[in-house]
Each structure stands twice: as structure tokens, then as C-alpha cells.
Chains A and B, each alone.
Chain A
């Protein structure tokens, strides 16, 4: 049984139909999917402010995530001090995976390299075409 923590990039790649690998992860019967409230906030922010999705459309995405993933709370501010990453904004993602002993699935080269210090990390795809 694999316990996977999904970063925003993986979830959005799945729901927007941008990655077969992300889709496959959701169909894997032996994988339990986790994410956190911080990722949900990011999903909302990206869809609303960057891609102008409506509240209804964002609701479809949120429903899908809540039905398919265990949602953990975002780490507390003082907990963030436990890890050091070049981009401080990655800490709530890496820290939750570390705290619950989950394998982090991500699509960000820099975070992928740095998060290795704290958690097991997988990238869902290696080619970086569009």
C-alpha cells in the first residue's frame, strides 16, 4: 500500500486532463491519496486568479479532491521551522508529507531535489513539454 501526498501540481494536472501519469495515480487501487488544506487554498488561488475559473467550476475540482483524498490540516506557523528549503513557501507541502510519513508526488524540479532531504519524493512525469 502506497501512501501518497499530492502536491497542487499533481491534482490540477489530473483534473485539468494535463497528465496521464497524474490520472493513473488516482486510478491506482493500492494507493491512498492525501493532501492538505494549504494545497486546497493553492488550487483555489490558481484556478480563480490565474485561470479565471468560476466558483462553480472550482467547486467541481474541490468536490473531486475531497472525495478522493484524505485532507490534512495545514502545518502551524511554528512547525515550519523544522525544515529549511530555498523556497519557504514549499515548506507546508513538504512538512505535511514528512509529518504523516507520506511519499510526496510533485512536478517541480527544484522542490523535487530539495525535498529529498526530508521525505521520499516522486515526480509524476519526467518530460517537461507542454
Chain B
């Protein structure tokens, strides 16, 4: 729930390609930023910017998920286990401590 005193009140209607309409609430600051980017010619309309932003975020999330899946495969390939991870952290901790704090 967005507090009423700081929230606003612009309602944007976005027509998607399948003509589905969704409603979103935005702060005046966000609306101003959107409008300035549209005015500068980076996007043809508010909806254009919002559609682009959503696609961008979803793509980013997909890439991140793919990267994490890749790391898990790499972990299996390198035969890293929970025990070898614990040992490696313990060894590294001493070295990193000296690197950061010197000989305490």
C-alpha cells in the first residue's frame, strides 16, 4: 500500500499488442521523468517508454537466471561440494584478513 500523502495519482493506461489494458500508479516524479524522456524524443509516448522498460527488466532477469544456472553447472563440473567450499572459505578468510587489516 502506497501512503496517500507521498503517492500520486497519475493513472496510465497501456494498450498491449493483444489490446489488453493494465493500469499502473506512478509518483509525480516518475511521471515527470517519463515525460521528459518522451519530450527529448527517446520514446514516442509514455506507453512506449514503459513497454520498453518492462521488456528490459524482464530480459535482465532472464539473463541473471541463466547466469546463475550456468554457475551451478560450473560448480558441478568443478566438483565443488559444500565441504570443499567450507574449507576454501576458511583458508581464504585468513588470507583476506591479512590483506585488509595487515598483521593484527
A50 to B86, CA, bound (A): 11
Q: Which 3 A-B pairs have the closest CB atoms?
A: A17-B72, A130-B81, A89-B97
A15 to B72, CA, bound (A): 7
Question: Which residues of B are in contact with A by a Cβ distance under 8 Å?
Answer: 64, 67-68, 70-72, 74-76, 78, 80-86, 88-97, 99-102, 104
Does A31 sit within 8 A of B, measured CB to CB? no
Does A2 sit within 8 A of B, measured CB to CB? no
A-B contact pairs, 28 of them (CB 8 A): A8-B92, A9-B85, A9-B86, A13-B85, A15-B68, A15-B71, A16-B75, A16-B80, A17-B76, A18-B82, A41-B100, A42-B96, A45-B92, A49-B92, A51-B80, A57-B70, A57-B71, A60-B70, A64-B67, A80-B101, A88-B97, A89-B94, A107-B82, A108-B89, A128-B82, A128-B83, A129-B82, A130-B83
Question: Which residues of A are in contact with B by a Cβ distance under 8 Å?
Answer: 8-9, 12-13, 15-19, 38, 41-42, 45-46, 49-53, 57, 60-61, 63-64, 67, 74, 77, 80, 87-90, 92, 107-108, 128-130
Selected from B64, B75, B81, B88, the residue in CB contact (under 8 A) with A50 is B88
Chain A residues positioned under 8 Å from B74 (CB to CB): 53, 57
A64 to B92, CA, bound (A): 21
Chain A residues positioned under 8 Å from B68 (CB to CB): 15, 17, 60, 64
Chain B residues positioned under 8 Å from A16 (CB to CB): 71-72, 75, 80, 85
A60 to B83, CA, bound (A): 23
Q: Is the interface of A mostly helix, strand, loop or mixed?
A: helix
